[in-house]
Amino acid sequence: MDHICHSFTLFDTLQKIKPIIVTLSNAHKTLAKLCGIIVLSLTFILTNVLFLPEFSFNLISMSKLCQNSNCLAGFSFENFQLQNMKSKKIIGLAKQVGGLYFLKT
């Protein structure tokens, strides 16, 4: 799987999967039993997202996102932007806070 989300309401679709063991940041292990799709906009869709309600954050794998969505990611200390390589449109923006990039939706 590619990404992690802790909020059930963000999923557009969810399906049962063969359970996957995931190690949390506090070293505890949990099982992911559901995976789905999150539609952030018409041009920004996340697939293969694990549903982990025990997790504190929603995480996007940048390498998988760029690979699967044909996108270009640009980082600076303060910001991050995601650009569609075909249309050249910006499809995602994030602001850096405390070392993490928080996506603006």
pLDDT in tens, 10-60: 999 999 999 999 987 788 899 999 999 999 888 788 999 999 998 888 888
Q: Using 50, 70 and 90 to split pLDDT, how confident is the model at 85? A: confident
**Tens of pLDDT along 60-69?**
888 888 788 7
Sole residue written with tokens 């303060």: 78
Residue 11's Cα: distance from chain center in Å?
Answer: 11
| 61 contacts 2 by C-beta, under 8 angstroms | yes
pTM above 0.85, yes or no: no
Q: Can you tell me the mean pLDDT for 79-105?
A: 88
Contact 30, 60 (CB under 8 A): no
Instruction: Give CA–CA dist 49/66, Å, rounded.
Output: 15
Largest CA distance in the chain: 42
